[in-house]
Amino acid sequence: MRVTKTLEILKNLYKNLKKNIKKAKLIFFDQKHILIKIDLQKMIRKIE
């Protein structure tokens, strides 16, 4: 009985982790895009 309960808890934790990782990846990509935009702006200023 205890083992199955532990397995259930682990499964739920894993599911939550996967969801959080997806969110974290999205946030990471957003930040990357922001950095790329900033770099492009710097480049444009140098050209001007």
3-26 per-position pLDDT tens digit:
889 999 999 999 999 998 888 888
Task: Identify whether 16 is part of a domain.
Answer: no
Read off the tokens for 41: 């702006």
Task: Identify whether 7 is part of a domain.
Answer: no
Domain count, the chain: 1
Task: Identify whether 2 is part of a domain.
Answer: no
Task: Identify whether 36 is part of a domain.
Answer: yes
pTM of this structure: 0.47
- Measured CA to CA, the distance from residue 33 to residue 36 in angstroms comes to 5
Residue range of the domain that includes 42: 24-48
Task: Identify whether 11 is part of a domain.
Answer: no
Residue 2 confidence (pLDDT): 80
pLDDT digits (tens, 9 = 90+) for 25-46: 888 888 888 888 888 889 889 8
Task: Identify whether 13 is part of a domain.
Answer: no
Residue 29 confidence (pLDDT): 84
Task: Identify whether 30 is part of a domain.
Answer: yes
Amino acid identity, residue 47?
I
